[in-house]
Amino acid sequence: MQYTVAVRTLCEFTAKRGDLDLRFTPTPSAQEGMAGHQLVAARRGPAYETEISLRGEFEQLAVRGRADGYDGVLNRLEEIKTHRGDLARQPANHRHLHWAQARVYGWLICQARGLQEIKLALVYFDIATQEETVFEETHASASLQAFFESCCRDFLAWAAQELAHRAGRDEGLAALSFPHPSFRTGQRELAESVYRGAATGRCVLAQAPTGIGKTIATVFSMLKAATPHALDKVFYLTAKSTGRRLALDAAQQVRDAAPALPLRVVELVARDKACEHRDKACHGDACPLAKGFYDRLPAARSEGLASGRMDAQALRSVALKHQVCPYYLGQELSRWADLVVGDYNYWFDGSAMLHAMTLGDELRVGVLVDEAHNLVERARAMYSAGLDQAALRASRSSAPAGVRPALDKWNRGWNALRKAQKRDDGTLEALPTSFVTALKNAATALETYFAETAPGSADAQLQQLYFDALAFQRLAESFGSHSVIELAEQASAYGKPAATVRIQNLIPASFLRPRFAAARSVTLFSATLSPPRYYLDMLGLPDSTAWIDVESPFDPAQLEVQVVRRISTRFADRERSAAPIARLIADRYAVQAGNYLAFFSSFDYLDLVAAEFQRSHPAVPVWTQVRGMDESSRQAFLERFVPGGAGVGFAVLGGSFGEGIDLRGDRLVGAFVATLGLPQVNARNEQLKARLDDVFGAGYDYTYLVPGIQKVVQAAGRVIRTQEDRGIVYLIDDRFGRPAVRQLLPAWWRVRAEAVG
């Protein structure tokens, strides 16, 4: 049996040594990198070939990859690297790795074309200046073959281990049984849809009710599909840390059900949470966990993978034992893991690590997206960026003399921004060329300064300005009808008015579409994915995507749903609605004392009704969500919902307590939803409405109605969590009786449309 490895992976494994060093950063984006490669290729002659697929073998190892470019006239193979800043600051181990890649590709093309000798060139293309720096070597094919075989020998022991692991994993997964005695109602249907998606190479959009065990169903079925459909890895992506924990628990259930199964599970956490030395820069001269990172990595990697389950805590323990960075150890282990659990951004963000790894290593992956109704807003945030003129002015005061002229020109460029042509909705038609040019020049000046600055001495405010400028510049280069440019004036501490400009993404579909195409199958699941057309349109899912609405395991008799028509929660009616809502809650509490949640559209509305309730019914225990609650405060809020307890928790719809919490049995017996959850009518949402009307003909529904009712259903879903639960939900507003609203509510609900009073 052969083990196939990408050229890049082979070289990183065998040739990467020394310190972890991120000083030679930031690297160009993937889009900038592709553009740079194209520019270099365009400068070559007609005989120049690009993206040459190559393959070689050594014993049971197959090595594959795509060489960047080959000039048949010059007999020169080029390894092209895009970069920013002074090349002289590049760490030596980076160059060493690049030469290793060039030499491996050199042998592969010599072998493929019968060449006895070849020139190898490292071509460094500066994104900012568009200048090339070229280093060239000439090699006999025999020396390149020797280098290739040496790399392969260094990797063979690992390859043999990986082959054995893959064989054992595939055998174990093929024999794997569901880790519970039977499937719940709807659970089998969900599991089968995930499996069929992997089998056919289609994406799946699955609406599945809360309480059926979505996490274990999806994890089990995608793992079960791995052997027959040759999946290299499964990625489980979540919006919140609670989702990661559920996925890790599901993976442990699979492992417990099959103790002999060698399943490797890795949890990825955010860099700021994994970092042990937040006050230190990521290089060996500053951080002890970066010093000699690649020299100590093999032992840490072996121990981590041998343990099987590497959640954040276990990963940190192994990392500190071997004195390596936990964050980057997690990234390395994900390359060899079977199941990787992490946030959405690891696959969907513009610089997503798992997506890049999948493309670079030509992996076949299955992706699971938990609570997928959150992805629209999260993706909008990923592909939006803003700049603040006041921050620019404040940074100028601490900027070195060599940078100030570029910052001054950029500051003057804001004048052109203010004069730019605006649309009827107040957004800009486009960014003025003079502003973009000044922005790019300022970013170039800043990156030159940082490249030449002593490690750790750069001003933090200036660095943030630089990163903001780069993020904005990258989105400016891909600006289109999917986004708008917002310009606003604000007061300034410097006596002059300052402006803010933001590229706000409205429709993330064009950015996400390649992410769906890169996976064998992506299953997106949630209790609220209606109507499916909304998600297909907004997320850019393929036309072949399968839609499934999983049958609920709950009996309609478990949940009483009542629409309270006589109380309006419209903004103009909120003051006079406080007393009737307070009475409604108190009346229900008098009928059945127990734990209730009352949801409102804002903290102001929540405070208004909570104050009225406490004034008029002081004997009833009350606890409220407040702005900016930390994790311990949120936990304390939830701990008030004790079994057999009684009281009312007041919370904001769409907030921390509106989804993702599990209050089973009589920990929660009812909920009051005093709003349709419609987003605020403001300039941005009206822009969004107009754009979605133009593109999809569904401006109001896509902007207001669907996102609002989605939050209502999520909040109401806190009440019934198991087939033993019983409870009541009050939907407070006459608009809940409208057909357009009712059709977005779960089909298993039996809604009493008459007023209550």
Q: How many CB atoms neighbour CB 576 within 10 A?
A: 10
Least confident range from 105-114, 356-365, 598-607: namely: 356-365
- Taking residues 516-521, report their average pLDDT: 98
In terms of C-beta density within 10 A (0-12 exposed, 13-18 middle, 19 or more buried), how is residue 328 classed? buried
- pLDDT score for 36: 86
Tell which residue, 336, 206, 175, has the closest CA to residue 264: 336
Max CA separation in the chain (angstroms) = 93
Indicate whether 756 pLDDT > 80: no
**At residue 36, what is the residue type?**
G
**C-alpha triplet 269, 355, 707: angle, nearest 5°:** 75
Distance of alpha carbon 403 from alpha carbon 317, whole angstroms: 43
- Taking residues 661-666, report their average pLDDT: 91
Distance of alpha carbon 600 from alpha carbon 577, whole angstroms: 12
CA distances for 331 relative to 263, 327, 360, 386, 584, angstroms:
17, 7, 14, 29, 52
- Taking residues 199-220, report their average pLDDT: 94
**Which secondary structure element, helix H or strand E, spans residue 452, and what is its range?**
helix 433-452
Tell which residue, 427, 614, 404, has the closest CA to residue 502: 427
Residue 53, token pair as written in the block = 């697929």
Least confident range from 276-285, 288-297, 733-742: namely: 276-285
- Taking residues 245-253, report their average pLDDT: 95
- pLDDT score for 419: 87
Residue 608, token pair as written in the block = 């208004």
Q: How many CB atoms neighbour CB 285 within 10 A?
A: 14
The H-assigned helical ranges of 628-721 are 631-639, 683-696, 699-700, 706-716
Distance of alpha carbon 351 from alpha carbon 40, whole angstroms: 22
Query: Which tens digits make up the pLDDT trace of 32-59?
Result: 778 888 999 999 988 899 999 999 999 9
Query: Which tens digits make up the pLDDT trace of 103-122?
Result: 999 999 999 999 999 999 99
Q: What's 735's DSSP letter? A: G
Q: Catalogue the E-assigned strands of 288-360.
A: 309-310, 339-343
- pLDDT score for 757: 43
CA 587 to chain centre: 44
DSSP-based three-state secondary structure for 739: helix
Map out the domains of the chain with their CATH numbers. 3-157 (3.90.320.10), 183-376+529-549 (3.40.50.300), 384-505 (1.10.275), 556-752 (3.40.50.300)
**How far separated are the first and last CA of the chain, in Å rounded?**
74
712 forms beta bridges with none
Distance of alpha carbon 714 from alpha carbon 711, whole angstroms: 5
User: 3-state SS of 192-225?
Assistant: HHHHHHHHHCCCEEEECCCCCCHHHHHHHHHHHH
Listed as own residue / partner, the contacts of 479-483 with beta carbons closer than 8 Å and 24 or more positions apart are 479/430, 479/431, 479/503, 480/510, 481/507, 481/691, 481/695, 482/383, 482/506, 482/507, 482/508, 482/509, 482/510, 482/511, 483/383, 483/384, 483/507
The H-assigned helical ranges of 76-186 are 92-113, 141-174
Tell which residue, 257, 251, 224, has the closest CA to residue 238: 251
489 forms beta bridges with 499
Give 247's contacts (C-beta < 8 A, 6+ positions apart): 215, 219, 236, 238, 341, 370
Residue 72, token pair as written in the block = 């048949």
Indicate whether 755 pLDDT > 70: no
Q: How many residues does the chain have?
A: 757
- Taking residues 586-610, report their average pLDDT: 97
79 forms beta bridges with 122
**C-alpha triplet 376, 381, 383: angle, nearest 5°:** 95
CA distances for 640 relative to 623, 647, 722, angstroms:
8, 8, 20
- pLDDT score for 108: 98
- pLDDT score for 185: 86
Residue 537, token pair as written in the block = 């349109």
- The answer to whether the CB of 718 falls within 8 A of the CB of 671 is yes
Query: Which tens digits make up the pLDDT trace of 689-705?
Result: 999 999 999 999 999 99
- pLDDT score for 128: 75
Burial 499-510 (b: 16+ CB within 10 A, else e): bbbbbbbbbbbe
**Which secondary structure element, helix H or strand E, spans residue 404, and what is its range?**
helix 404-419
Residue 669, token pair as written in the block = 């017996």
Q: What is the CA radius of gyration of the chain?
A: 29
- The answer to whether the CB of 584 falls within 8 A of the CB of 564 is yes
Q: How many CB atoms neighbour CB 215 within 10 A?
A: 22
Distance of alpha carbon 91 from alpha carbon 755, whole angstroms: 72
Among left, alpha and beta (phi > 0; psi -120 to 50; other), residue 309 is beta
Q: What's 556's DSSP letter? A: G
Confidence of residue 211 (pLDDT cuts 50, 70, 90): confident
Q: For residue 228, is the peptide bond before it cis, meaning its omega torsion is within 30 degrees of 0?
A: no
DSSP-based three-state secondary structure for 422: strand
Distance of alpha carbon 679 from alpha carbon 394, whole angstroms: 34
Tell which residue, 337, 357, 336, has the closest CA to residue 346: 357
- Taking residues 163-189, report their average pLDDT: 94
- pLDDT score for 83: 84
- Taking residues 411-437, report their average pLDDT: 89
| More confident site: 497 or 251 | 251
730 forms beta bridges with 562, 672
Confidence of residue 360 (pLDDT cuts 50, 70, 90): confident
Distance of alpha carbon 182 from alpha carbon 713, whole angstroms: 28
- Taking residues 610-638, report their average pLDDT: 95
Burial 695-716 (b: 16+ CB within 10 A, else e): beebbebbbbbbbbbbbbbbbb
Least confident range from 71-75, 363-367, 454-458: namely: 454-458
